Amino acid sequence: MSETQSSERITVFSDYVCPFCYLGRESLRQYQSTREDELEIDWHPFDLRSGKRNPDGSIDHSVDDGKDEDYYEQAKQGVRRLQEKYDVEMDLDIATNIDSLPAQIASYYVKEHYDYETWLAFDVSIFEALWQDGADIGDEDLLVDLAEDAGVDGDEIRSALADDALRSAVREKFTAAKRQGITGVPTFAYDGHAARGAVPPEQLERLVEGT
């Protein structure tokens, strides 16, 4: 695995199906545009559907996770408010029926085996496919296409998605995040401090620069 030399990295816990993760990344992009030096993203996967996930990896939508219609309506309102604040166009407000586990496995594989810029291009394309195009990022063929566009061998993605050991490793990342006290996403962490939610660029600046 090759590494890009960077003076600073910000840790980001996120799940592709979380609209606030997409909006939070836009906030981070806006903050990054004000910096002279690159701030690399050290991405850690997080599974929002873990409480509904069956042993075979499928999602049981009948499981009551406490998120009713009022919850989703409030979430949609929050998404729309932040869309306006950050000037972001989105095709969807909520993606309740999309399974992000395949995308997270593929992204984790690319992060571990390719350089940072390749991973970042793939990562951004997954977010945009879902939130800009309304595409199913749980679809293997879509992930292969996105990976190839980023310069990754598509057959490697197919192999990664069929790799039980890799799937287990990603699930362990979810468990490890919870052990670290991560209860929701996005969570941005830097130098022992954290900010949760799609916080504005100025709050990310305070997190990183202490100003």
Judge contact between 170 and 108, C-beta under 8 A: yes
Residue 3 pLDDT > 60? no
Give the percent of the chain with pLDDT over 90: 80
What is the pLDDT at residue 63? 76
Which of 9-18, 37-46, 89-98, 162-171 bottoms out in mean pLDDT, i.e. has the lowest?
Answer: 89-98
Q: Is the dihedral of CA 110, 116, 121, 127 positive or negative?
A: positive
Residue 193 CA, distance from chain mean position: 20
Mean pLDDT (the chain) is 92
What average pLDDT does the segment 192-197 reach?
A: 96
Burial of 1 (0-12, 13-18, 19+ CB in 10 A): exposed
Judge contact between 19 and 79, C-beta under 8 A: yes
Quick one: which of 108, 106, 112, 105 has its CA closest to 1? 112
Can you tell me the distance from the alpha carbon of 28 to that of 149, in angstroms, rounded to the nearest whole number?
23
What is the pLDDT at residue 122? 98
Where residue 167 falls among pLDDT bands split at 50, 70, 90?
Answer: very high
Sheet of strand 39-45, all strands in order from the earlier edge strand to the far edge = 39-45, 8-14, 187-190, 193-196
* 24-82 per-position pLDDT tens digit: 999 999 999 999 998 999 999 999 988 778 877 777 777 777 777 887 899 999 999 99
Where residue 7 falls among pLDDT bands split at 50, 70, 90?
Answer: low
- Residue 134 gets the label, from left (phi > 0), alpha (psi -120 to 50) or beta, of left
CB atoms within 10 A of CB 77: 11
- Residue 111 gets the label, from left (phi > 0), alpha (psi -120 to 50) or beta, of alpha
What is the pLDDT at residue 192? 93
* 77-126 per-position pLDDT tens digit: 999 999 999 999 999 888 888 999 999 999 999 999 999 999 999 999 99
Can you tell me the distance from the alpha carbon of 145 to that of 125, in angstroms, rounded to the nearest whole number?
10
